[in-house]
């Protein structure tokens, strides 16, 4: 691990589910974005760490191992879509989880662990999401989208992952360490 690399902690979307979501997204017309997230990179970020000194990262890992032994496995549903940026030309197009107290509690515990390790966290409010695409790329305006599918995509969250970002590779996000939740 290197201090020049960037990291985040998140929930990886299982491969089969990610490819089903991508397949269903590909059936939609009128979506014109510059950059599409590869299904292997689908995730819900809990905390973005950015560059972090090795000793601090090791402390974060130690604290995550403790907290995940006490955090329960839970279900997560993805169905609604949304965007960040302007309505006509969104910066980010995403799927968002349905309201989920277990997800919010886990995020707070991860945030507390990162802060306890002496690393800062973003001050912006947490809006859980799975990025599908970035940078609207059409002359016409973005049109609001229907939910992803007829029924929500459901997954069991049984672990969280420390990812390293490798911008020049595909997939871009590499699992460095996984932390199993309590069953």
Beta bridge partners of 94: 82, 131
Q: Judge whether 111 and 155 are in contact, CB under 8 Å.
A: no
**129 catalytic residue (yes or no):** yes
Element (H, E) at 105: helix 101-116
Q: Does the active-site annotation cover 119?
A: no
Beta strands across the sheet bearing 153-157:
33-36, 130-136, 90-97, 74-85, 153-157
Catalytic residue among 19, 119, 129, 174: 129
Phi, psi of 117 (to 5 degrees): -80, 0
150: three-class secondary structure by DSSP? coil
Q: Which of 6, 12, 19, 43 is catalytic?
A: 43
Residues with catalytic annotation? Answer: 43, 129
């Amino acid at each position: 691990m290197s201090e020049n690399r960037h990291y985040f902690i998140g929930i990886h979307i299982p491969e089969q589910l990610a490819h089903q979501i991508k397949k269903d997204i590909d059936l939609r017309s009128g979506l014109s974005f510059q950059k599409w997230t590869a299904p292997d990179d689908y995730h819900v970020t809990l905390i973005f760490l950015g560059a972090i000194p090795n000793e601090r990262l090791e402390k974060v890992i130690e604290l995550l191992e403790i907290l995940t032994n006490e955090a329960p496995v839970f279900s997560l549903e993805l169905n609604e879509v949304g965007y960040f940026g302007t309505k006509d030309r969104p910066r980010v197009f995403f799927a968002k989880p349905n309201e989920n107290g277990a997800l919010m509690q886990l995020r707070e515990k991860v945030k507390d662990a990162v802060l306890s390790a002496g690393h800062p966290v973003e001050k912006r409010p947490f809006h859980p999401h799975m990025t599908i695409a970035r940078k609207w790329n059409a002359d016409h305006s973005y049109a609001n989208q229907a939910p992803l599918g007829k029924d929500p995509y459901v997954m069991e969250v049984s672990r969280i992952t420390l990812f390293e970002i490798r911008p020049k590779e595909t997939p871009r996000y590499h699992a460095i360490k996984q932390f199993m939740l309590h069953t």
